[in-house]
Structure 1
Amino acid sequence: MTLSLLEKFRADLDIDAHAAAMSWVPERSQDLAEHLSRAELDAASECIARGLLQLSWPEDHPRMMILAFSPGLDFIQAFLACQMAGVIAIPIAMPRRGREAHILEAIVSNCGATMTLTSESEVLRLQDVFASSPALDRMHILSTIQLKVLGEGRSMARYKAQEHAFIQYTSGSSSLPKGVLVSHANLAANLALIQKDFKVDPEFVMVNWLPHYHDMGLIGGLLTPLYGGIPGVSMAPSAFIKRPVRWLQLISAQDDGRKVMSGGPNFAYQLCADRVADADITDLRLQAWKTAYNGAEPIRAITLQKFEQRFAQAGYSNTNMLTCYGLAETTLFATGNHDPVIRSVSVLGLEQGNIGAPLNEEDSRLLVASGHADPERIAIADSVSKLRLVDGKIGEIWITGPSVPETYFNNPEQSQLTFHAQFADQPQSRYLVTGDIGAIVDGQLYVTGRSKELMIVNGRNIYPHDVEALIQNAVAGIEDVAVFSYDDASAKSESIIVICELARTARGWFADTAEQTLGAELEKLANQIRLAVAPAEIAITHLRFVGPMGISKTTSGKTSYGQNRRAFSELPESIRSRTASAEFRSKD
């Protein structure tokens, strides 16, 4: 029987209560690092849990608590407290006025939670945000200190444990967030799968920079070390984004004799390869980095190659890279293995829905496998016939098994479509429709894109990520790219929109006019971009240049195609109808 998170944590606590559990490395060097042993983490969490048990909970609604915390150790104490008290935890990004408040309004509307737990230092900030929103102004804000006082001397035995551990609201790359209702059994099964496929052993330490409200940060960065009985060391996501070398320095700083497990999305490795100075690399020691996991977004072969080239002198090797695939709807992890398989495939084949050998060099594209596809859990399905596809055929990625939850909270229609798919020849089966498309070749899963974002142009399948990579690799000075289709009612066919984000140093290239026309430098860049995609026979309908943060992202850092499409649709028709536009003003 698979132990639950709390059962495994307490079993390890009984073995060695003084072993390191969690550490926090602050962004400012003058601030002291914080450390919690297993006993200290257990005691702090139980104090909060006692307070949770004293609250008045509605009889006709599941007990749940929104967790709004800035990066640090307070969050993991609150999360474990919810598990101890039988309260469903709902981790969120610390909201600000504007977009984050809008997302929180949607979450509250969906789940019906009435209470938010935060740190004492964040109470006033939350009150200000909630007061600005009619949908949030009645939300009751509690601090962890309040709950510790409330629960002092009280019993832990009051409520019967609930079946579910937490709600993971998806980051919503194409839509508003949906809440995946994760049971204790789902969580335990996924953590056990991670232990097996990541080959976790007591010699490891986890180094994490990912946000705690995102599934990869919560389960991968925080709960995996707790479940594996290994130390976890975290830093703020902002510290990594500002200076990516800090992540590698934290990996290098771990104790001799410890193996390091750490990772993130592909963009994290690209950011390090692009921005870490040569002088900083000489001081890095990456020999102990034995599991460098890479997932959550398309994995690019050129990124893996460049990262190894830059950091091989510091002891890094791609044989320790663990390429993986997962999503909140599988709790987190689905597939993965060390020493990534990189396959040269036919571009023409991809457009026709197949993964096969290239006809020639011009027809070649490199695909990185996302791990071994266990046939008992992973399948490729034809979306129309609902039958399994043979190896090499591209279709919908379906997943089954104990890690797969059964529902989105309070969203029965979408839950039925997403979590309860069946193969036509297996009427008793229950599969998750991931929304991703890909194929299995030689037992490896290759993810080729999102079904919603697939563009079909003149009968060809065009993947946004392919076009984005083509532009970034061919044209210097492009910080980020978003490519999506746009269905204009006045047009004869779907349009292809390309948004290119430029650095702040390009500010002088933008003209501050209402017409948002291109200056001479941007005209040159536009010509380079159109030439770069011409060999692929891709006709860009509208090319738009924006300043830093001009491309909308989800909370996990992925491109939010839905938000970018909406932003484009809101431009005046006089701008949309042209072939190019430019606006430096970045999004807040």
Structure 2
Amino acid sequence: MYNDFGLDKADIGSGACTVFDAGHKDLVTHYRSVVEATSDSLAVARLQKDEEISSSMSFAELDRHARSVAAYFQRVNAQGSRAIMLFNTCLESVYSFLGCVYSKTIAVPLPAPDSAKLDRYLVRVKTVIADGGAKYVLTTSSIKQRLQSITEGIEEFLNIEWIAVDELPDYSEHWVHEAVDPSDIAYLQYTSGSTSKPKGVMISHANLLSNINYMGVANGYSTIGTGTVCWMPYFHDFGLIDGILLPLAFGKPTYLMSPFDFVQRPFRWVRAISRYKASHSAGPNFSYALVARKSVDEPELSELDLSCWKHSGNAAEPIRKIDVESFLRTFAPYGLARETVIPCYGLAENTLVATMAENGATYYQVDIDALENGHAVLSDGDNSRPIVGCGKVFKSKWDIDVRVVDPLTNKLKPNQEVGEVWLSGECVAKGYWEKEQATEEKFKAEIVDLPGRKYLRSGDLGFMIGDELVFTGRQKDLIIVEGRNIYPQDMELSVEKALPCLRLGCTVAFSHEDQDDTRVVVVCEVKDEYNLLPDDTNLDDDPNAVTAKQIKRSIIKEISDECQIRVHDVVVLPAGLLPKTTSGKVERALCKKKYLEGVIFKGVKRL
């Protein structure tokens, strides 16, 4: 894409970019070498709502703060202990993570509390503390003051030591650089756990360094990287690794923006990229659709210069052609190159990225009926839809293997046949924290055709076309009805295209068993600009007025016509009530759970 992906050149850049050539095996040695090469350069900056920098640190300052946190942990013999991290978007989250790494304390990144959903939040934190056996909570003084009083008397918090990193004295000179085994756990990345107890994915130093190196070379950071703008939260693997650790590992700055600031005004994202001449910035698919839709009427749109933006990874959820094209169409006049948007595939259990497109998105038009039966038949007929390719594994020094496998027979699937995506190699995590059975089932699978090698079962469905992986959906999300395997994304996209009153990316289709019948349900949100009125209202005089009855009737007909599926129930929600993660992804499982429990209309609206 940007070079031969080999890291075998004598010089792939200046300063910290060449640190990877030294072949460091652990994060501490690598990042300290970066600091030596880029001591006074900007490392991290926090952006305000107007994209002005409110606080920042050089690499030397970041390292000093990290060493201070690490020295404290060494002082209390915290090596191997788990430390929960509770931060908003701030510099403290970055140096606290590095402080854990420097002291061989296992970091556990989690979000800061949301006052509107505090009960649900505390349940999540309590569960993670209990599962990980955490002894420490790293946070800021303001969050500590607020949470410590609320959690007083709660069993899981009784033996927790609260550490406000912004109140710690400077212990940096007392830090001792201890040897780190590459297999040592750097941090635990907890899964969402919306329908089951969350599981902590054990990411080692070797996993993290390999994935950062792989990504940085494949996406061009090693040669053309200038900096990153990141609005994704640090407690998600996408935000932590792609948005923070990767640029720092190559000696480049990262500009941190609150996800709330992004959602409130998505234009801030692209304006910050233009302003700080960032070469790299990524996000889930919904963010591309959102920023394109919300930027059209921005008065400063014409002032953008996005020619600096060289790589924009699109991952973490199904990628839609309509969203990619809308994004490109909106920003191409302002310097955005078509090959900038790069679909990727990865998951936390593989540290992060496994495959990456080479020169922009590739679309495959496939027959819908054939796909339901597990065959990816290319077709431009009426009964077809586009699927976005997720790129390939870049072969070079990395041991990374991605295969599509029959989940029942454990045999390889032929080209263009749908199966489960399996992964193997140095980026695959060690397993789930203290969950031997789940680790054995998920991380120790073997392919009949390739005996002797262990593979990670992703739970994702896809097919190979040549050397490109094409993601088709999650196994657990498939709607199986009348002998057909229906991808919910097909139904959701069809509905949103047909009904302009619905919010894009805010429709969920799922099925559930009711006695001997499989029932199909659609839950959707109405746009803010539409008035959701009682069902008996006369709508003749108001073009922006809708009723739930009208929407339900239209959805049932649309899905019947387009997908030949009977919808048994439709739930119409006002804007902001559909369950979503903090990174903006729809929580399908939680949505289904709330529907079945009869509480789908309850909850606090999202921003």
How do residues 132-211 of structure 1 correspond to structure 2 at under 5 angstroms? Answer: 133-148=154-169, 151=171, 154-156=174-176, 163-172=184-193, 175-200=196-221, 201=223, 203-211=225-233
User: Residues 272, 387 of structure 1: CA spacing in aligned structure 2 closer, same or farther, 3 A cutoff?
Assistant: same
Match of 1:286 in 2: 306
Cα deviation, 1:498-537, whole Å, max 9, x if unaligned, reads 101123454642589xxxxxx9722222222122212210
Matched to 2:313, the amino acid is Y
Cα deviation, 1:131-169, whole Å, max 9, x if unaligned, reads 3844335432111144435x3653426797681100001
Match of 2:512 in 1: 486
Note if contact 2:186-2:203 (Cα within 8 Å) is conserved in structure 1: yes
Mapped partners of 2:318, 2:206: distance in 1: 29
How do residues 64-143 of structure 1 correspond to structure 2 at under 5 angstroms? Answer: 64-96=82-114, 97-131=118-152, 133-143=154-164
Match of 1:324 in 2: 344
Shift of 1:554: 2.7
SS at structure 1 position matched to 2:291: helix
Note if contact 1:172-1:560 (Cα within 8 Å) is conserved in structure 2: no
Shift of 1:294: 0.5
How do residues 359-370 of structure 1 correspond to structure 2 at under 5 angstroms? Answer: 361-370=381-390
SS at structure 2 position matched to 1:225: helix
Structure 2 counterpart of 1:6, from 28, 35, 44: 28
Mapped partners of 1:55, 1:229: distance in 2: 31
SS at structure 1 position matched to 2:125: helix
Mapped partners of 2:149, 2:73: distance in 1: 24
Structure 2 counterpart of 1:262, from 256, 277, 281: 281
Mapped pair 1:350 → 2:350: no
Aligned-pair Cα RMSD in Å: 2.4
Cα deviation, 1:43-102, whole Å, max 9, x if unaligned, reads 1111111111112549xxx32211111111110010111111111111001134221211
Shift of 1:172: 3.7
Shift of 1:32: 5.0
Mapped partners of 2:369, 2:194: distance in 1: 27
Mapped partners of 2:580, 2:340: distance in 1: 29
Note if contact 2:579-2:586 (Cα within 8 Å) is conserved in structure 1: yes
Mapped partners of 1:372, 1:248: distance in 2: 27
Cα deviation, 1:517-575, whole Å, max 9, x if unaligned, reads xx972222222212221221021111001123322123332222221111111129xxx
Match of 1:273 in 2: 292
Mapped partners of 2:157, 2:202: distance in 1: 22
Matched to 2:286, the amino acid is F
Match of 1:528 in 2: 554
User: Residues 88, 209 of structure 1: CA spacing in aligned structure 2 closer, same or farther, 3 A cutoff?
Assistant: same
Shift of 1:446: 0.6
Matched to 1:65, the amino acid is A
Cα deviation, 1:456-488, whole Å, max 9, x if unaligned, reads 111111011221111112211111101111112
Matched to 1:168, the amino acid is Q
Match of 1:408 in 2: 432
Bigger Cα displacement from structure 2, 394-403 vs 520-529: 520-529
Matched to 1:73, the amino acid is L
Runs of 5+ consecutive residues of structure 1 not aligned to the other structure = 513-518, 573-581
Instruction: Give runs of ≥4 in structure 1 deviating > 6 Å.
Output: 158-162
How do residues 421-432 of structure 1 correspond to structure 2 at under 5 angstroms? Answer: 421-432=445-456
Bigger Cα displacement from structure 2, 309-318 vs 66-75: 309-318
User: Residues 107, 50 of structure 1: CA spacing in aligned structure 2 closer, same or farther, 3 A cutoff?
Assistant: same
Cα deviation, 1:188-238, whole Å, max 9, x if unaligned, reads 111111012111125421111100000000001000101122121111111
Bigger Cα displacement from structure 2, 237-246 vs 375-384: 375-384
Mapped pair 1:558 → 2:585: yes
Runs of 5+ consecutive residues of structure 2 not aligned to the other structure = 1-22, 537-544
User: Residues 174, 335 of structure 1: CA spacing in aligned structure 2 closer, same or farther, 3 A cutoff?
Assistant: farther
User: Residues 289, 174 of structure 1: CA spacing in aligned structure 2 closer, same or farther, 3 A cutoff?
Assistant: farther
What TM-score results when the alignment is normalised by the length of structure 1?
0.90
What TM-score results when the alignment is normalised by the length of structure 2?
0.88
Mapped partners of 1:310, 1:23: distance in 2: 28
Mapped partners of 1:329, 1:159: distance in 2: 26
SS at structure 2 position matched to 1:562: helix
Matched to 1:284, the amino acid is L
User: Residues 160, 319 of structure 1: CA spacing in aligned structure 2 closer, same or farther, 3 A cutoff?
Assistant: closer
Shift of 1:267: 0.2
Bigger Cα displacement from structure 2, 229-238 vs 1-10: 1-10
Note if contact 2:460-2:474 (Cα within 8 Å) is conserved in structure 1: yes
Match of 2:417 in 1: 393
Note if contact 2:186-2:204 (Cα within 8 Å) is conserved in structure 1: yes
User: Residues 196, 303 of structure 1: CA spacing in aligned structure 2 closer, same or farther, 3 A cutoff?
Assistant: same
Mapped pair 1:419 → 2:439: no
Mapped partners of 1:159, 1:317: distance in 2: 44
Cα deviation, 1:349-395, whole Å, max 9, x if unaligned, reads 1111011122x531110010011146950000101110111110000
